[in-house]
Amino acid sequence: MTVFLLFYLCADATRTDCQVMRTDSWSGPHAYEHCADVVPGLTEALTALNRKRHRFVCEIQDDGVKSMKNRAQPAFINQAFWM
């Protein structure tokens, strides 16, 4: 199992307009616990205002899932659209 620590950088407190940035990752049977141990300290380091807007999330990715670079790219379809 691989766990990614993601940082949601949001424009406002509604958290509807966010950019997601991968911050760190762990692999192994205790990966989620390692990630979960880091989140409180990082959250505490944010200012009170930023804690309302931004957040850290641990996301599990099953090792059976292909990585993005190994996935097949979609085939290009040659079509023309006329108006």
| 61 within 8 A of 4, measured Cβ to Cβ | yes
Burial (Cβ within 10 Å: 0-12, 13-18, ≥19) of residue 21: exposed
Q: What is the pLDDT of residue 67?
A: 52
The pLDDT profile of the chain, 83 residues, written as one tens digit per residue, is: 899 999 999 988 888 889 999 999 999 999 999 999 999 999 999 999 999 999 999 999 876 655 544 545 445 445 555 54
Structural domain spans, the chain: 2-63
State the Cα–Cα distance between residues 26 and 29, nearest whole angstrom.
9
Residues paired with residue 60 on neighbouring β-strands, in sequence order: 3
